[in-house]
Structure 1
Amino acid sequence: MYNCALCSIHACSSGKLDMAPKNCPCLNDEMDEIKSLYKDEENHNIAQASSLIVSDSYGTKTRLEETIAFAKKCGYKKIGLAFCIGLVEESKIISKVLSYHGFEVSSVICKNGHLSRELIDINNTKVAMCNPIGQATFLNESETELNIIVGLCVGHDSLFIKYSKAPVTIFAVKDRVLCHNPLAVIYQADTYYKDKLFPEDINQK
């Protein structure tokens, strides 16, 4: 088990491996095998492009600008958008921006196919189910080289990533309560959202 989120040493960043806890990934025997995977051409290009963007424009470019720069550094021409129907206007703008910057954009909405929720054993509803597998399938058919997720629901994004043949990056995530800014709950974890995130055990009351 690894506990990097709870680590206060971060030997991985400082390089002081003699201070690393016993379960630190830095000390794992598999690290050499992991490093070898970066020799794969696609992995190398993606890792290099993303690292250069961080060093060249740290704190100066928006996520959208970084995505454009990343795609260009990787040499991608065909971009796919897998978007939520609730963010159709936002996706329209993203598509126009990407097209303006020279990319061929294919976009597939979450409700594609108008599938009944009875398919997943949810009855008594007329609302069409989201179809992330369909989104991935149709973007695969379009031979996209990079797919961008725009506001897919929790879990639907998982299925899309599972079936996408092209690498996937995320532009926006779904959070209906916090205007698609899920980190807001983290910033208020000790105040407004404390009771929801850390509810007292009813057995101790």
Structure 2
Amino acid sequence: MNEETKRSCVDCGVYNCHTRDKEYPDFCLTTELTDEERAEVWKLYEEPENQKASVVSAQIESDFYLRYTRVQEIVAFAKRMGYHKIGIATCVGLIEESRIFARILRKNGFEVVGAVCKVGSFEKTKVGVPEEDTRITGPIMCNPIMQAKIMNREKTDFNVIVGLCVGHDSLFYKYADALCTTLVTKDRVMGHNPVAALYQAKAYYKRLSNEPIAAYPEDVNPKQPEASAR
């Protein structure tokens, strides 16, 4: 590893922060924390909503470990938190999945507010997207800020993201007032299961670990397929 590389948790094989029965490595982030930083964070956990969410999350993990799906965990979390109105910020491409999820939520006593990604119908060129970049996916931009504003207007207690694109989900998190979680993470290639690419990083998607990932299509080697077998 390059000596100039800043090492952190992703480079650690000790995990003493989890077991607390070993020595911390020299680069451990835990050992770098100041008393002031710890006190500041702990003060945030003492805020009622943060404290309750932390306790409920831990209890659900313990009570339903390897038993509940993500859908079930979200419902159980919302019930224990005392939420009533749930927002669904969904991609239009996963509207059918969101409708099923909404039925499940309603059957469990929740009020549901859904906002699809194209709500507001702004054109992509209006925000600065070149017209040539609208030919494949269409001229109407995703509108995650509007989705968040709708949830805020409706005073949702809790928001669930279903398949928003990379970056669009970031903007939704940024502008939503209520706590948020993600039910589906967008990955068109992997059937919305992005961790599959990591599972295959030593096999079918070996290139992910061995070659830089191009940020622009013109930088992709046309002679090599996006996924290559061993």
Into which bin does the TM-score normalised by the smaller protein fall? Answer: over 0.9
Aligned to 2:14: 9
Counterpart mapping for 1:102-141 below 5 A: 102-124=109-131, 125=134, 126-141=138-153
1:6 deviation in Å?
1.7
Hey, which bits of structure 1, 4+ residues long, moved more than 4 A? none
Give 1:85's aligned amino acid. V
- SS of residue in 2 equivalent to 1:105: strand
1:2 deviation in Å?
5.3
Q: TM-score, normalised by structure 2?
A: 0.83
For each residue in 1:46-89, what CA deviation from the matched residue of structure 2 results, as whole angstroms up to 9, or x when unmatched? 11110000011101000000000000111100100000000010
1:34 deviation in Å?
1.5
- SS of residue in 2 equivalent to 1:106: strand
Percent identical residues:
43
RMSD: 1.6
Q: TM-score, normalised by structure 1?
A: 0.93
| Closer, same or farther: CA 39–196 of 1 in aligned 2, 3 Å | closer
Unaligned runs of 5+ in 2: 1-5, 213-230
Give 1:8's aligned amino acid. G
- SS of residue in 2 equivalent to 1:19: coil
Count of residues paired in the alignment? 200
Aligned match for 1:80, one of 87, 107, 116: 87
- SS of residue in 1 equivalent to 2:88: strand
Unaligned runs of 5+ in 1: 201-205
Distance, in Å, in 1 between the alignment partners of 2:208 and 2:13 is: 26
Moved more, 23-32 or 110-119: 23-32
Aligned match for 2:177, one of 162, 165, 175: 165
Aligned to 1:69: 76
Distance, in Å, in 2 between the alignment partners of 1:132 and 1:2 is: 34
Moved more, 49-58 or 188-197: 188-197
Aligned to 1:203: none
